[in-house]
Structure 1
Amino acid sequence: MVADCYRREALINQALPAQIPAPRLQWMEEQDGWVVLGFEAVDGGRLPATPWKPDELTATLDSYTITAEALSTPPARLQHAGIKPVGEDGDFADWRNLARGATPTNVLPSWMPLDLLNVLAGLESGWREAVVGNAVLHHDLRQDNVLIDADGAAWICDWNWPCLGASWFDLVLLLATAYADGHDATCLFAQHPTSRGVTAEQLDAALAALSGFFLTYGGRPPADWSPHIRQHQTWCGEVTLRWLADRRGWTF
């Protein structure tokens, strides 16, 4: 399973347009079921500081502007890689499943008001229409998938899961991490070029979809293939839900 992910990353990385700020694959080796990828070194490359520093967050948003422009329509080489629309392999229906009792509510944090389930289910139901598009998305644009180089520029890494959709959908999870660190994520979203024309309801639908997905998966039993994945998923779910709550004026 993991080896297939690395094979996929190698295929996608080699198909990325030249202007995208991403480290490029230099070599790949396979032996006895193991896959090793070697990427070009990023001079002085390091993860962004935690909490986000304003200049590093700005650099990352600028790099995503370049990326989104280059991928506003799927380049031929990426089309040949078989990139699918977001949600083609499954729906974000977690709040709806919780609201109708198909998923037990004990997967949710204790502070989550259950009287919001129907409201969240309603918001979530609009996610697919909200994020439809033909742009190529990174689809995992998190703080730990970014490197800051010696000059302060940001490089976007780990191109395992690209899909097709609206470019702004990539910003939601990235800016959720900024929200967690005290930044005005809604303002930063509105200022980004990819958000042009996006309504408040579209953003809220995306936040509902992501929060339900992460909270539900975070409540599953531990995964032996990644011992900290459930903790990370729960954190992502709580952050996206709190950002949504802040936007809707909900108090937990």
Structure 2
Amino acid sequence: MQAPVPEDVDYRLTSARPQWESLPAHVHEAVGRLAGSPVQQASAAVTTGFTGAYAGRVRLRDGREVFVKAAGRTTPHVHGALEQEARVLAALPHGIPAPELVGHGDSEDWRVLLLGAIDGHLPGHPWTPAEVEAAHEACLRFAEAGTPAPATLDVGTMAEDLDDPRIHTTARALAEGTFAPPDGIPGWLLQRGPELAAVSRSASSLTGQSLVHGDLRPDNLLVDRHGSAWIVDWNWVVTGPAWLDLTGLLPLMAWQGLDVDALMARSPLFTGADPEEVDAFLAVIAVYMLSSLDAPPPPGCTAALRQHQHLMARAFLAMLGRRRGWA
């Protein structure tokens, strides 16, 4: 019996995190040591993201507020990601709208990351014109400051990241007509599967000299009280085309009825961009999202990860199908 098709994902309610009080005492001590002041009070853990690792804001005895991420071995994905995020944040060029790196380190088998606290909300519930403009401006600032990518930040390329066995397996099944679409996936996929697979393969040639976030979703953005957007969760950074991050946000905007064609037409990020390359990126992400939809979430991740994956598959397919006349 197939699982029911998930509704749109509320990215504000996707994690299952421990509270500050339940963390080991040595983690509490490590946060105070790294911050330079003991923790006086902790807010409730955030409910965004897809893991069971700790993430939340704390107030220090000296009056400052910091955002704490902490992961033990029960959330192995996050444990490794925190070290990568610290490395990236320490090397990002000035001017990129990213949180301040306050400190990071290990405490026994836990990894701890301290960031400057950002007082903001997640966009996209639903997307408003002001939130779209804020996200667009953040992507423009990122592209300006991150092009060319600094030589001091050793990261891979988007093309390398997309050379993924899961993507290849799903693309092959689509090309051969053996892929079984789950409930809720558009029916035209059965007829257009070979074309989708072919377009997705073109993503192997995606190149660019810009830093790209690589995982820009609504829950990796915060819009502050002044209306500016900040990009968070920096553990998938690679080099690629400057238009790539904004393109990753467009399908969900279009899913909610926004005119993303008008945004693309006026955005400097798409000046000179090859529409076929944009379609190749949309296609390969759609194929990636179609992969392993029925598999259990990775260790330490919540079931909402697969719900997100299902929604992203539908949204990317819808935008790509419209652009190519498939739907």
Q: TM-score when scaled to structure 2?
A: 0.70
The alpha-carbon deviation at position 172 of structure 1 amounts to 1.7
What is residue 47 of structure 2 aligned with on the other side? none
The alpha-carbon deviation at position 105 of structure 1 amounts to 2.2
Find the residue that maps to 1:77 and give its secondary structure. coil
Q: Which has the higher strand share?
A: 2
Find the residue that maps to 2:282 and give its secondary structure. helix
What is residue 99 of structure 2 aligned with on the other side? 23
Give the alignment partner of residue 209 of structure 1, picking from 243, 264, 284: 284
What is residue 8 of structure 1 aligned with on the other side? 84
Structure 1 residue runs without a partner (length 5+): none
Indicate whether 1:194 and 2:269 are aligned: yes
Q: Deviations along 1:162-203, whole A, 9 cap, x unmatched?
A: 011111111221112211221112221232212111132222
Q: Is the 8 A contact 1:93 1:124 kept in 2?
A: no
The alpha-carbon deviation at position 206 of structure 1 amounts to 1.3
What is residue 67 of structure 1 aligned with on the other side? 142
Q: How does 1:201-240 map to 2 (within 5 A)?
A: 201-227=276-302, 228-240=304-316
Letter in 1 for 2:256: D
What is residue 187 of structure 2 aligned with on the other side? 112
Q: Is the 8 A contact 2:175 2:193 kept in 1?
A: no
What is residue 150 of structure 1 aligned with on the other side? 225
Deviates more, 1:239-248 or 1:107-116: 107-116
Q: Deviations along 1:193-242, whole A, 9 cap, x unmatched?
A: 12111132222111111111111233434434212211111111110000
Letter in 1 for 2:238: C
CA distance in 1, matches of 2:307, 2:229: 26
Structure 2 residue runs without a partner (length 5+): 1-75
Q: Deviations along 1:56-86, whole A, 9 cap, x unmatched?
A: 11011111101111111111331xxx20111
CA distance in 2, matches of 1:111, 1:126: 22
How many aligned residue pairs are there?
246
Q: Is the 8 A contact 2:98 2:232 kept in 1?
A: yes
Identity of counterpart residues, as a percentage? 34
Find the residue that maps to 1:133 and give its secondary structure. coil
Letter in 1 for 2:309: Q
Find the residue that maps to 1:132 and give its secondary structure. coil
What is residue 76 of structure 1 aligned with on the other side? 151
Q: Is the 8 A contact 2:192 2:326 kept in 1?
A: no
CA distance in 2, matches of 1:187, 1:217: 34
Letter in 2 for 1:37: L
CA distance in 1, matches of 2:266, 2:237: 24
Q: TM-score when scaled to structure 1?
A: 0.89
Indicate whether 1:85 and 2:161 are aligned: no
Give the alignment partner of residue 125 of structure 1, picking from 176, 201, 205: 201
Q: Which runs of 4+ in 1 moved over 6 A?
A: none
Structure number with larger C-alpha Rg: 2
What is residue 17 of structure 2 aligned with on the other side? none
